[in-house]
Amino acid sequence: MITTVVGSYPKIPDLPAPGRWRSAKEKRERGEISPEEFLQVEREVTLEVIQEQVEAGIELITDGQIRWEDPQTYFAQGLTGFTLDGLQRWFDTNMYYRIPVAEGEVLWTDPITVEDYRFAKAHSPRPVKPVITGPYTLARLSQNRYYATFEDFVLSLALALNQELRALDAENPPLIQVDEPGILRHKADFPLFREAMITLTEGVRAPLALYTYFGDVVDLYPEILDLPFDVIGLDFVAGPRNWEALEKAPFEKWLGFGILDARNTRLESLEELVRALDRVSRYVPLDRIYLNPSAGLEFLPRNVVRAKLHRLVEAKRAVLGVGV
């Protein structure tokens, strides 16, 4: 069993500590500091959140996505063809993103996340996994004014992001994660999704993880296991019906077991996490489990995140300690 996180981490420290990122962001928006100076602050904050994950005992960490304004625009701005439009709410959260609008051909020209990955890897004592937003979710939360059909749009994005995955692959990461919460809201699109995932992952040698959250895959199960990924991440907090999915057919991959609530401050008891691990072990052997929160952690204040990550690690130790 490997403890990990799904991706994002709060960018600012607990009150009353001053939010360095916040004041730098404000200065950047007013043009008072250069992009390089802002990047420097982003990197310092990245080091801080790497440190916090490591201190909590997380074994496979991320860079905390400190440089992502949100999961949509970081990629839309890194590709050609997009402009940004009005503000929209991100799924059922109270976080917002600017709607990317495809006005031209969507092309990959330069790596988007590779520098971030290199930086995190160089400064982390633990393995780091890069994360990208998948082409389906990116397309779903964008407006398409260029491609004739939504299918064309999704598959063009898959082709573009395949380049990003190949660029990441060249860095030899232990795992590359693709986030696709969008498919859970549009399950009828699964055939298109499958095609996109095949295009996306073609030629990539690193182990791959597909993470879903904010819902369940019960209607996509077991087909979702046929997708070209080694790990499938499921959210058992917002998607309790994922338990039903596990009943339907054997889970033959690694499971990203999202059991710690990333969207509520209530701290899970050790007992409930141990019980959940015990329950999931009836479907997936514990040595094929990534134990992680239900989603990215930027929905919580940082002190809560630290307490939760400690609890997650405690749960792993408790379960393995009692010789399961």
Partner 1 sequence: MIPSYLPTTTVGSFPKPPDLLAARQKYRRGQLDREALRALERQATQEWIRRQEELGLDLLVDGEQYRADLVTFFAEELDGFRMAGLVRAFGNRYYRKPVVIAPVGRRHPLLVEWFRFAQSLTSKPVKAVLTGPYTLAEWSFNEYYPARRDLISDLARVLREEAQDLVRAGARYLQIDEPAIHSRPEEDFELARAALAHITEDLGVYTIVHICYGDVARIYPDMLRLAVDQIALALANTRFTLLEVFRTHPFTRDVGLGVIDVTRHRVETVEEVVSGIQRALEVFPPHRVHLSPDCGLRTCTMEEAVAKLEAMVEAARLVRAMVP
Q: Which of residues 226-285 bind partner 1 (CB under 8 A)?
A: 264-266
Residue 306 as a binder of partner 1 (CB under 8 A): the answer is: no
Tell me which of 9, 74, 75, 97 binds partner 1, using CB under 8 A: 97
Using the minimum distance from each CB to partner 1, give the nearer residue, 69 or 169. Answer: 69
Min separation Cβ 146 and partner 1, Å: 15
Tell me which of 10, 111, 182, 293 binds partner 1, using CB under 8 A: 10
Per-residue x/- track, 157-196, partner 1 (CB under 8 A):
----------------------------------------
Q: Return d(Cα 91, Cα 141) in angstroms, integer.
A: 9
DSSP per position, 147-182:
SSSHHHHHHHHHHHHHHHHHHHHTT--S-EEEE-GG
Q: Return d(Cα 271, Cα 269) in angstroms, integer.
A: 5
Q: Return d(Cα 111, Cα 163) in angstroms, integer.
A: 8
Q: Return d(Cα 304, Cα 210) in angstroms, integer.
A: 26
Tell me which of 1, 2, 66, 99 binds partner 1, using CB under 8 A: 99
| Mode of pairing for the β-strands spanning 96-102 and 82-89 | antiparallel
Listed ranges 5-13, 42-50, 115-123, 229-237: which one lies at the site for partner 1 (CB under 8 A): 5-13
The β-bridge partners of 3 are 291
Q: Return d(Cα 33, Cα 35) in angstroms, integer.
A: 7
Tell me which of 35, 94, 188, 203 binds partner 1, using CB under 8 A: 94
Residue 69 as a binder of partner 1 (CB under 8 A): the answer is: yes
CA angle 312, 316, 319 (to 5 degrees): 135
Residue 67 as a binder of partner 1 (CB under 8 A): the answer is: no
Binding residues vs partner 1 (CB under 8 A): 10-12, 14-15, 19, 22, 25-26, 29, 69-70, 85-89, 92, 94-97, 99, 143, 264-266, 298-304
